[in-house]
Amino acid sequence: MIKNFAHICFIVSNLEKSIHFYADILGFKKGFDFIDDKGKRYGIYLLIGGRNFIELFEGTPKAAVDGASFKHFCLETDNIEETVKELRAKKIEVTDIKLGKDESYQAWIADPDGNKIELHQYTAKSKQLEALR
């Protein structure tokens, strides 16, 4: 049986720039590196929280792979207003906060390769909480 979300993987155009964004700006903890036979880092695992990771490999990003599509991924925050304020202080473009049709607050950012990231905060009326009960 499926137990949990494990990781999401991205091909990134500049590994160091992406590590800076995900580790230094968003605060993900460096887990481990992927090192080639010549000792060069070509990928990294970063801990988002809990048992959830993001995996990055340097390469040429493509809009879709084998007909698959990707729209965005979502990061839960405990205080979306503070998160948006902190990201803007770090010169990251963040949309204004709005209440989504799911009754959860959301704002949007993008990583250095343009991958969309939703910032998400549950409310007492969030539809997701019904599913978690």
- The distance in angstroms from the start CA to the end CA of the chain is 20
Query: Taking 70 as the threshold, does the pLDDT of residue 17 lie above it?
Result: yes
Residue spans in the chain of domains classed CATH 3.10.180.10:
1-59, 71-133
Distance of CA 133 to the CA centre of its chain: 25
Please tell me the pTM assigned to this model: 0.84
Tell me how long the chain is.
133
Cα–Cα dist 88/94, whole Å: 7
The CATH superfamily label for domain 1-59 reads 2,3-Dihydroxybiphenyl 1,2-Dioxygenase, domain 1 (3.10.180.10)
- Specify whether the backbone of 6 is left (phi greater than 0), alpha (psi in -120 to 50) or beta: alpha
Q: Which residues contact 91 (CB under 8 A, 6 or more apart)?
A: none
Average pLDDT, the chain: 90
Per residue in 103-118, pLDDT (tens digit) is 999 999 999 988 899 9
Per residue in 71-85, pLDDT (tens digit) is 888 999 999 999 999
Domain 71-133 listed as CATH 3.30.1490.20: no
Per residue in 24-76, pLDDT (tens digit) is 999 999 999 999 999 999 999 999 998 899 999 999 877 655 666 678 889 99
